[in-house]
Structure 1
């Protein structure tokens, strides 16, 4: 009899594992995964998923372009994640990237190219009440579509909104009052009106899609996707210049911060990556800014390096950083690299990390070319961008797992450490989520106990 019980338990356990750990297969070569990590494809069939965030009940909210905001219930431990019970939360096809949720979980924010909306959110019903309120407007541009949102956890009530340029090299952005290529600060509780009414955190940023707050010290960081088809002195240098950038913007609660309100160079100045391909580079170093004025560009380099704020780190051109997320201790910054469209040899298409020190700054110097450490990347980029995943949004759950959307393939991945361990082991769990989490092993134990009780 005991053997029969063990056999039945093994069958139930195998069935539970199979049901809780679905196996999905992509239509492109399997990703390359760095040693010490596990990456699993957990959802397919989404419509260009971009920004993602978890609500206070542990449900995953996703911005799908052309659809709106959808939600999933999340089950499973380790990399065995099951997304189920998909539901449309906000049916607005104009929403295209930005998403945030208040600390109490009762207010949802989302953005279109034109507006930022605020909704009263019910996590239990995975629904909103009413149609939402427009709190920021007047942001339409021709070149860039995304409006990244960040709610500060250090300075309560502050909402950051990032808006890109109106064209590839937009000369109108030399005027701070133009309102484009900027990150501005808003009161999340109020209906502000036009974007230009916000407080300027930073300007001279072509398209700062990734925006994050370091939980260690409250420092604000952004990643900039730089200009394409750049020339200097009549020479095309776009293949390996200018660099993508990681920029530091100071702390919102520090009114005396020298970083707040800085200009980061665009559209006149750009970070250098391969100085050997920049005409008349002179002593220009990686990470320093250079000018692209049509006449006498080299004479303007001094202006770029004294009157404009240099990037803290630079990345290979055309990698297109889209989202950034710190771990809970501010020791590691994770970056989604959407990948190139305008380069002979495709680059990017990965999720990588950057190490940070106790001072709240990257451990690598500003001249480093190796600050990014890949975790998951496309194993064959020759088919990119059409036949590979393109990382877009990132989000943490309360179990320390990192989720990644791929807008080009309509997919979601989860990233953990080897053996299904948390990528961020220090991330605090909410009681509401942990109380509803059942592992396959736990279910098997329950089944075993039930059968013992039955046969005893």
Structure 2
């Protein structure tokens, strides 16, 4: 037997042994778990795991940004514990960086890299893929590299693709035709039938734009509502004052229901690069009309910095409040929300906060729960305590170096929440008890 085959067989043997013993692994960081929940690591040693989905056979598919491509993890159970029966590379591709989704019938696997979206015929039971097809292209840029994918259960012929900005403040995104800082929808049947790839910039329909970097996109299965979580700007300055440590807020944005022909949110502009949401108002210059969660402008390097030469900051802020679509909830600055997933009954959304690099002390590095009712958050936008944090690092002063950093979330059929931690190479399962 070749050396590689020996190592592969050994890896499968070790996975099988772990499944038989079903012993939870030791987390890389000390965890702080809320009452009513348990959390355990079921797999480690992965190469920067990002987004995750379950296939129709209950296997976990993982996009690894660290050059490994797509991984298939077969799960089993013993005495109520989740165990890994096997873990193996499904698609080797060093360019894949984040996005992964499945068609509603589970037979087409969609994956992305910075430039393109691909489709693969997929057999969930056999764990095999067919010949790939390039479906969407023309997304290469030098800024944010993730391209998030989602196939809503309420609109099975729709593929949602989110693309971020080309840099911190990307003024080209004032033009919707730039095709950046935008979420678009594409018809899957047309993508699969076409002999040539669709260009992202000129193709598809605009769901929302003016969205700096909406890495997390999710569907409320109880209503079909589409939500995104936005990573807002770094190092912002207004009227010569550095306000970046507490501003701008990260955002929870609502985009309506895809299949609703009267969706008034479709195609709306959410403010970037001119307008941002306030988390802490006290340190913002000329803040008399700025409230928690309201949008404001006049940030150095943005288009509206020039407007203040002809008008006032208050006039700029009024434009941001009245002419741009605001968020439904806000989160602390720089906490970096990277995914959002909903409970099946729509009673709560869960958000993975990857954690900050641009504030002192560090913040984020946790998983939060947001209460929902009738398709909307229970909390008001001014409520800075709207998120219940269910899984955190015990000591965030050690972050990011000695912390888990949540990225991808996925619910299994039993309502257990699976989570990737990219920098530590772990997969967690979080259970409500």
Normalised by the length of structure 1, the TM-score is 0.86
State how far apart, in whole Å, the 1-side matches of 2:294 and 2:187 are.
34
Q: Which has the larger radius of gyration?
A: 1
Pick aligned residue for 1:258 from 264, 267, 286: 264
Q: Secondary structure at the match of 2:333?
A: coil
| 1:138 pairs with 2:153 | no
Q: Secondary structure at the match of 1:323?
A: strand
- Count of matched residue pairs: 400
Deviation of the 1:142 alpha carbon: 1.3
Tell me the residue number matched to 1:431. none
State how far apart, in whole Å, the 2-side matches of 1:21 and 1:277 are.
51
| 1:170 pairs with 2:170 | yes
Structure 1: gaps spanning 5 or more residues: 1-15, 419-456
Tell me the residue number matched to 1:73. 74
State how far apart, in whole Å, the 2-side matches of 1:411 and 1:18 are.
16
Tell me the residue number matched to 1:184. 184
State how far apart, in whole Å, the 1-side matches of 2:211 and 2:229 are.
9
Deviation of the 1:405 alpha carbon: 0.2
State how far apart, in whole Å, the 2-side matches of 1:190 and 1:90 are.
24
State how far apart, in whole Å, the 1-side matches of 2:137 and 2:78 are.
41
| 1:56 pairs with 2:56 | yes
State how far apart, in whole Å, the 2-side matches of 1:90 and 1:271 are.
40
| 1:129 pairs with 2:130 | yes
Tell me the residue number matched to 2:212. 206
| 1:283 pairs with 2:289 | yes
Q: Secondary structure at the match of 1:189?
A: helix
Q: Is the 8 A contact 2:19 2:85 kept in 1?
A: no
Q: Secondary structure at the match of 1:355?
A: strand
Structure 2: gaps spanning 5 or more residues: 1-16, 192-196
Deviation of the 1:201 alpha carbon: 0.4
Deviation of the 1:107 alpha carbon: 0.8
State how far apart, in whole Å, the 2-side matches of 1:59 and 1:103 are.
15
Pick aligned residue for 2:200 from 184, 195, 199: 195
Q: Secondary structure at the match of 1:259?
A: coil
Tell me the residue number matched to 2:33. 33
Q: Secondary structure at the match of 1:190?
A: helix
Pick aligned residue for 1:350 from 359, 366, 379: 366
Structural mapping, 1:364-403, within 5 Å: 364-403=379-418
Deviation of the 1:77 alpha carbon: 5.3
Deviation of the 1:21 alpha carbon: 2.2
State how far apart, in whole Å, the 2-side matches of 1:156 and 1:105 are.
11
